[in-house]
Amino acid sequence: MSAGQPRRRLLALDMDGTLLDGDKRITDEVRRALAAYLGHGGLLTIASGRFPASVWLHARELEMNVPLIALNGAVMLDQQTGGLLQGTPIEADGLISLIRLVQERGAYVHLYGYNELYVERLNEMNARWPLANVVVIPSRELTEGNYREQTNLIRVIPVGDLASFAGSDPRPVYKATVICDNPGLIDELLDELAGRNAFALTRTGRRRFDVNASGVSKRTALELLCRERGIRPEEVAAIGDYDNDIEMLRWAGLGIAMGNAEERVKRVARAVTGSNRESGVARAVWHHLIDR
């Protein structure tokens, strides 16, 4: 390796709990470290479960230089325009079956299109979803009025009966999220759906999990990105903190778990960095990725 080159050609970052601190912000320390990595010739991307628009806004803020991964790997988007490059939606029959099961058990579900959130009806929780996806500016209070130029990129669309919508509307659904205040019911639904072998399932908290088409993951999307650019797995570093990062961390030549990661994530990683409140991504970049 010649002087001045990064130790890994490509760095893939999860967002929540990883790139973003506890206040959903990119710290100054992380900004400086990632700018230095890019300045050394590194390639930088995001691999997140978030909306494409949210991924693109944060990537634009950091001047990322390769396509981006959103909705747990279901879509890949252009880092410059935010436009869809390719996507893998959930098939209608499986989606209808999922919706009916979840609703029969008394849990809540909503569906992700490309920057569209499909809901049965608007409520206090889903109406604020776009605001939860913006690039937070420390000097600007987090209100709809202050972030309108960002929240307008994501639409929350009430469609009535979700099963009827899934069976008749041609718009693709790339991800579903199941939410319930009863963790026991979440466990039961996860077990039952896992037994069907029809979906990719990732827990995103004690009271929620994500559903994608079978075979979809951050890892598979990252593999495709690397194949298209001639990048070997051993040339990749990935940083994450939760279940939907595990396969990506296993696959990458250097999988790094955040200090705030679940223990099961730390066990599969080759290294552990500081927490997201300690700018752990910056620590990882300086310690593992740049020769100084």
Q: Name the percent of the chain lying above pLDDT 70.
A: 98
Relative to beta strand 254-257, strand 271-272 is parallel
* pLDDT of 6 strictly over 80: no
Please give the pLDDT value at position 291: 73
As to burial, measured by CB atoms within 10 angstroms (0-12 exposed, 13-18 middle, 19+ buried), residue 182 is middle
Mean local confidence (pLDDT), 197-212: 94
Residue 4 binned pLDDT confidence (cut-offs 50, 70, 90): low
As to burial, measured by CB atoms within 10 angstroms (0-12 exposed, 13-18 middle, 19+ buried), residue 215 is exposed
Domains annotated for the chain, with CATH where assigned, are 10-87+216-289 (3.40.50.1000), 92-213 (3.30.1240.10)
Half-sphere exposure of 94 (CA within 13 A, CB side): 19
Q: In this predicted model, what pLDDT tens digit does every residue of 135-163 receive, in sequence order?
A: 999 899 999 999 999 999 999 999 999 99
Task: Fill in the DSSP letter of residue 205.
Answer: E
Q: In this predicted model, what pLDDT tens digit does every residue of 54-112 receive, in sequence order?
A: 999 999 999 999 999 999 999 999 999 999 999 999 999 999 999 999 999 999 999 99
Task: Please state the pTM of the whole predicted model.
Answer: 0.95
56 vs 6: CA distance, rounded Å: 24
Please give the pLDDT value at position 228: 95
* pLDDT of 3 strictly over 80: no
Residue 151, phi-psi category: left (phi > 0), alpha (psi -120 to 50), beta (remainder): alpha
Q: What are phi and psi of 162, to 5 degrees?
A: -70, -35
* pLDDT of 292 strictly over 70: no
172 vs 177: CA distance, rounded Å: 15
Tokens coding 242: 């939760």
Are residues 287 and 38 in contact, defined by beta-carbon separation less than 8 angstroms? no
Mark 146-166 as b/e (b = at least 16 C-beta within 10 Å): ebeebbebbebeebeebbebb
Residue 215 binned pLDDT confidence (cut-offs 50, 70, 90): very high
Which residues partner with 290 through β-bridges?
6
Please give the pLDDT value at position 120: 96
Please give the mean pLDDT across all residues of the chain. 95
SS3 for 1? coil
Please give the pLDDT value at position 253: 96
Please give the pLDDT value at position 7: 78
Beta strand segments in the chain, E: 10-13, 43-46, 68-70, 75-77, 84-87, 108-112, 116-119, 155-158, 175-179, 199-205, 208-213, 236-240, 254-257, 271-272
